[in-house]
């Protein structure tokens, strides 16, 4: 806050006074902080994984319903398998994998589009590359009943699969 003081020859001397008190953010600063917080919370790096199935061995099966894309009667969605123990394929070790699946919502079929392998649980750690010759043929076929695939299909297609 500035105050004015007059000298004897009527010149104005401006004196700045800084008083004690809390720092109060302006409305502009509040809006900026809010926008930054919302951007951080909605970051694509934070996936909304939902556990859809638990294997008898403790393996967890997850789906990310926030990224479902519908194209006619087909839906694509990322799924994740989280193993309780490290898996070793051809000398390469991984603990979890994320799979982009395509689901046919009328024919009850599924197809693997892409797979990513990670050294840590729940898609953590480093991403590792496994040659296709070691992973086998990507899945393409009917969605088995009472399986992790069925639960993911139901979530992606938004309906219950008839038995």
Co-location of 28 and 99 in the same domain: no
In a domain, 163, yes or no: no
What is the rounded average pLDDT of the residues 100-107? 94
In a domain, 162, yes or no: no
Q: What is the pLDDT of residues 48-93, one digit of tens each?
A: 999 999 999 999 999 999 989 999 999 999 999 999 999 998 889 9
**pLDDT band at residue 113 under the 50/70/90 scheme:** very high
* Measured CA angle at 73 (ends 69, 78), to 5 deg: 30
Co-location of 68 and 141 in the same domain: yes
Considering Cα of 113, then 119, then 123, then 125, what sign does the dihedral take? Answer: negative
Co-location of 111 and 61 in the same domain: yes
Co-location of 33 and 70 in the same domain: no
| H helices, E strands: number in the chain | 3, 10
pTM: 0.67
* Count of all residues that appear for the chain in the document: 163
Q: Residue 144: give the domain boundaries.
A: 50-157
Q: Supply the CATH number for residue 102's domain.
A: 2.40.128.710
In a domain, 93, yes or no: yes
């Amino acid at each position: 806050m500035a105050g004015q003081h007059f000298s004897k020859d009527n010149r104005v001397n401006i004196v700045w006074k800084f008083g004690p008190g809390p720092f109060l953010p302006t409305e502009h600063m509040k809006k900026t902080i809010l926008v930054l917080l919302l951007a951080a919370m909605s970051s694509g790096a934070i996936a909304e994984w939902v556990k859809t199935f638990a294997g008898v061995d403790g393996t967890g099966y997850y789906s990310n319903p926030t990224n479902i894309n519908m194209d006619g009667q087909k839906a694509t969605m990322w799924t994740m398998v989280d193993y309780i123990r490290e898996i070793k394929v051809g000398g390469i070790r991984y603990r979890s994998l994320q799979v982009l699946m395509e689901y046919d919502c009328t024919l009850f079929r599924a197809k693997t589009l892409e797979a990513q392998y990670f050294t840590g649980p729940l898609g953590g750690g480093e991403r590792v590359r496994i040659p296709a010759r070691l992973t086998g043929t990507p899945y393409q076929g009917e969605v088995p009943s009472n399986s992790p695939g069925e639960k993911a299909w139901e979530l992606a297609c938004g309906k219950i699969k008839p038995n």
